[in-house]
Structure 1
Amino acid sequence: MMSNIGDILFTWNERLPAGTSVEIEDDTLRDGLQASFIRKPTVEEKAELFRMSAGIGARHAVVGFPASSPAEFSDSRRLLSVIRDDGLPLMPWFLGRAVREDLEPMLRLRDHFGADVGAAFFIGTSPIRRHVEKWDMAQIMERITGTMEYLEKVGLPFSFSVEDASRTPPDELRDMVELAVRYSAYSIAVCDTVGESTPAGVHRLVGFVKSLIKDRGSHVKILWHGHNDRGLGLANSIAAVEAGADIVGGAFLGIGERSGNTALEQAIMYLYQNGVGNFDVKNLIPYLKKLSAATEFPIPVNMPLVGRQAFATCTGTHAAAVLKAAEIGTDFEDYVFSSIPASELGAVQDIGVGPTSGMANATYVLRKGNMDSSEGTAEALLAHAKTQHRLMYEDEIVAWYKQHAAKGS
């Protein structure tokens, strides 16, 4: 009998080339908190979430917008102290506009802690944004140049966020990339601000920026920052990686304004399954549950990786296959009806009982609950489950079992 799942697990997918290196920027507690209907975590909750994010393998974190309010500056100072004092392997970035008054609080944070911090400054560049705001392109270029000159002078590493880059024409984008190269930016953030890109468009956009940087012999990194308005956030991030992006940004649970950001846990799992990076994916589910509690953002039951249904099946033929696979080995159990290895996340491929179930389901859930799993009891449970309109939860199965046992006594 074949015991190595790698011998039979076929896929049409291509793996990322050997040597691919991609880092993760965690923007959960900055851009993610722009979502309209979530609770803002306390600063101590944020601190714990940053610790967990670093443990998962994020290497950059957007900590806050310190110029926006005294409270935001205070939180930024506290979180920077946590990153420094706990020795977290996170490069802290602070967001600001391309204006001096937004950059000076970052300098105060840097000077107070004596720690490296980065300035992530942004400016809208697309023709539609400029038309609405009545901005002149020459003035925008002058502001970008002045901001980069100032940051270079004060020695603050910076990332230039080209807001709405996906709707910025190539000639204008070229001029901005050349400025980033000239002033030795740490990175240029190519932003799909309204989530309008398709994967093919991302390939062209990131490839264009990559070729400009390469042609100039520069080492400026490309950060892809995408939103999920068309449901393409993850697909676009994958396309960005394939086109040569060095960093992928987003928010865990995909939280954020409108339809949210790229879901970082999904991007991380994609990289992990491609052998890219050094991610501890067993920390993903605990982090996501803590983030859900801290933000009061309910996790949809079918959300990949962490949803209650992510590794659950109640269909009879599928459940039977999972149980047969479990007898061969965990790898087979993980993959026979899933593309994600639940065991590597500290989870299990679970089986429930409901209206589409078979005897294997009923027998399994009874055994799992240390209840009588004889044929008669399993048949009775299955008959009851088929009268329901959805999967039965564990407490409902226990309640049914107690009533069934009482009738038989």
Structure 2
Amino acid sequence: MIDPADLWTGELNREALGESWRKPSTPIGLYDTTLRDGEQAVGVALGTDDKVAIARGLDALGVDRIEAGFPRVSPEDAEAMRQIVAAGLTAEIWGFARALRVDVDAVLEVGVRATVIESPVSDRKLSAYGMSRDVLCQRVVEAISYAVASGLKVCFFAVDSTRADSGFLEEVIHKAVDAGASEIAIVDTIGVASPEAAALIVGRARSWLGPELPIHWHGHNDFGLATAAAIASVRAGATWVQGTVNGMGERAGNASLGEVAMALEALYGISTNLRLERLGEVSALVQARSGYVLDRWKPLTGEALFARESGAVASQFHDPPAIEPYAPEIVGARRRVVLGKKSGLDSIRIKLAELGLEVSQQQWPGLLAEVKVLGARKRGLVSDEEFRAMVALGPD
């Protein structure tokens, strides 16, 4: 858990939860699908070596489960799954299959012992596939029964749950459980669920299934609410959250597991097994291997998140709780001052100390003026090398 001394979030969140709030007694499980759903991001194509390296990173990060891939996609994907299974990781390795016997066979062939089995459950999706409700139910029951009889643990993955008819969704879920599925995933396939809607549908599923059966939440970020919806699902009874590193995924992406874990722990006191201090290195690994580049201001792992250009903020640099919600070390980052158009004298002072440069205080205003001019001209930051050159030449 996070050291409370490194959290500077105030008391409002605790007050908002109220005295009756009871957090889950066990850690929320984190199910990573970077290697399957994350790879569906446009332009991302991970090779076998990439997938194995990322799987090792995910294991070091502390995710509970790794969805190693969809073996029917290609022989290369199947080989990557075999190598991940053979890697001896601590995380449980899962596969992905549609409600088809050939998909289940492919999962069995690569050696995983647990799999998601997906099927559409909304009328809109069924219409697109030209499939009736009866045919869907038959396929789900046959595929799950076959998988369980073959020794696989199964999570039924109800595609487009959030746009499905509630009565039919309940029917399909019960059929899946009766066929042997030991877990259920409520899936917001196109990211339409508000946090309130996520809580509603997960609460319904919990009422249908009772208190013990594991329920997953799988959401997307089309309205920028993936993290909020995941949190709401946990408060409503979800025991697992599915997501990816950096939120990488199709369209606007998936829930970012790092963001979900940080919000759960820092704002709600709900524990996970994620090693938050390794988020930065695993984020960088996935970016390097996938070519999927983050916004600089991405929560938790953006490169500019703990950089300070504003002179007004730099003047408070000595008192981190005044300018930040948590210590950057929690997520494996560090605090730094950068120079540019918005810098102030405190920015100059801090940067000089950081670089080990000795300059009389009388010269600081001149250096600041040069920094502001260059930053404005570049429409960007002044690099450390450029600042060193200014110091070497002396202010104009």
**Shared fold (TM-score greater than 0.5)?**
yes
Which amino acid in the other structure matches residue 146 of structure 1?
E
1:247-266 superposed matches below 5 A:
247-266=240-259
Which amino acid in the other structure matches residue 301 of structure 2?
V
1:314-361 deviation per Cα after TM superposition (whole angstroms, max 9, x unaligned): 2222211122x1xxxxxxx2x321123202233222222322222111
Provide TM-score, normalisation by structure 2.
Answer: 0.90
Report whether the alignment pairs 1:372 with 2:331: no
Q: Secondary structure at the match of 1:299?
A: coil
Which amino acid in the other structure matches residue 345 of structure 2?
M
Mapped contact 1:315–1:356 kept (Cα < 8 A)? yes
Q: Secondary structure at the match of 2:156?
A: strand
Shift of 1:398: 2.3
Report whether the alignment pairs 1:135 with 2:141: no
Give the whole-Å Cα distance in 2 for the aligned partners of 1:299 and 1:397: 27
1:150-199 deviation per Cα after TM superposition (whole angstroms, max 9, x unaligned): 12222211111100001011101111221233234231111111011110
Q: Secondary structure at the match of 1:212?
A: helix
Which amino acid in the other structure matches residue 36 of structure 1?
V
Q: Secondary structure at the match of 1:322?
A: coil
Identify the residue that residue 50 of structure 1 maps to in structure 2. 55
Unaligned regions of 5+ residues in structure 2, if any? none
Report whether the alignment pairs 1:346 with 2:336: no
1:72-111 superposed matches below 5 A:
72-82=77-87, 86=88, 88-110=89-111
1:354-380 deviation per Cα after TM superposition (whole angstroms, max 9, x unaligned): 222221111101111111242123212
Give the whole-Å Cα distance in 2 for the aligned partners of 1:397 and 1:305: 28
Shift of 1:139: 1.0
Report whether the alignment pairs 1:24 with 2:10: no
Q: Kindly tell me: are residues 211 and 339 of structure 1, through their superposed partners in 2, closer, same or farther at Cα, counting changes over 3 Å?
A: same
Give the whole-Å Cα distance in 2 for the aligned partners of 1:186 and 1:55: 27
Residue of structure 2 aligned with 1:304, choices 269, 279, 299: 299
Identify the residue that residue 357 of structure 1 maps to in structure 2. 343
Identify the residue that residue 328 of structure 1 maps to in structure 2. none
- Count of equivalent residues: 381
Shift of 1:275: 4.8
Which amino acid in the other structure matches residue 289 of structure 1?
A
Give the whole-Å Cα distance in 1 for the aligned partners of 2:26 and 2:231: 12
Which amino acid in the other structure matches residue 399 of structure 1?
A
Mapped contact 2:371–2:387 kept (Cα < 8 A)? no
Comparing 189-198 and 297-306, the one that deviates more:
297-306
Shift of 1:34: 0.8
Shift of 1:5: 5.6
Which amino acid in the other structure matches residue 109 of structure 1?
V
Residue of structure 2 aligned with 1:182, choices 161, 169, 178: 178
Q: Secondary structure at the match of 2:317?
A: helix
Residue of structure 2 aligned with 1:295, choices 290, 307, 320: 290
Identify the residue that residue 315 of structure 2 maps to in structure 1. 320
Q: Kindly tell me: are residues 6 and 52 of structure 1, through their superposed partners in 2, closer, same or farther at Cα, counting changes over 3 Å?
A: closer
Q: Kindly tell me: are residues 95 and 5 of structure 1, through their superposed partners in 2, closer, same or farther at Cα, counting changes over 3 Å?
A: closer
Give the whole-Å Cα distance in 2 for the aligned partners of 1:364 and 1:158: 55
Q: Kindly tell me: are residues 187 and 212 of structure 1, through their superposed partners in 2, closer, same or farther at Cα, counting changes over 3 Å?
A: same
Q: Kindly tell me: are residues 318 and 81 of structure 1, through their superposed partners in 2, closer, same or farther at Cα, counting changes over 3 Å?
A: same
Which amino acid in the other structure matches residue 322 of structure 2?
V
Give the whole-Å Cα distance in 1 for the aligned partners of 2:307 and 2:250: 30
Comparing 116-125 and 247-256, the one that deviates more:
116-125
Which amino acid in the other structure matches residue 132 of structure 2?
D
Instruction: Tell which has more relative contact order, 1 or 2 (C-alpha 8 A, sep 6+).
Output: 2
Q: Kindly tell me: are residues 53 and 5 of structure 1, through their superposed partners in 2, closer, same or farther at Cα, counting changes over 3 Å?
A: closer
1:97-116 deviation per Cα after TM superposition (whole angstroms, max 9, x unaligned): 10111111222233xxxxx5
Identify the residue that residue 13 of structure 2 maps to in structure 1. 13
Comparing 141-150 and 376-385, the one that deviates more:
376-385
1:110-144 deviation per Cα after TM superposition (whole angstroms, max 9, x unaligned): 3xxxxx52121111111211222221111111111
- How large is the Cα RMSD of the aligned pairs? 2.1
Identify the residue that residue 239 of structure 2 maps to in structure 1. 246
Q: Kindly tell me: are residues 356 and 7 of structure 1, through their superposed partners in 2, closer, same or farther at Cα, counting changes over 3 Å?
A: closer
Which amino acid in the other structure matches residue 90 of structure 1?
A
Give the whole-Å Cα distance in 2 for the aligned partners of 1:42 and 1:139: 36
Give the whole-Å Cα distance in 2 for the aligned partners of 1:275 and 1:382: 45
Q: Secondary structure at the match of 2:13?
A: coil
1:55-70 superposed matches below 5 A:
55-70=60-75
Mapped contact 2:215–2:239 kept (Cα < 8 A)? yes
Provide TM-score, normalisation by structure 1.
Answer: 0.87
Q: Secondary structure at the match of 1:13?
A: helix
Q: Kindly tell me: are residues 8 and 225 of structure 1, through their superposed partners in 2, closer, same or farther at Cα, counting changes over 3 Å?
A: closer
Identify the residue that residue 200 of structure 2 maps to in structure 1. 204
Report whether the alignment pairs 1:156 with 2:152: yes
Comparing 64-73 and 98-107, the one that deviates more:
64-73
Give the whole-Å Cα distance in 1 for the aligned partners of 2:156 and 2:227: 22
Mapped contact 1:367–1:373 kept (Cα < 8 A)? no
Give the whole-Å Cα distance in 1 for the aligned partners of 2:184 and 2:159: 10
Mapped contact 2:309–2:347 kept (Cα < 8 A)? yes
Residue of structure 2 aligned with 1:191, choices 172, 187, 194: 187
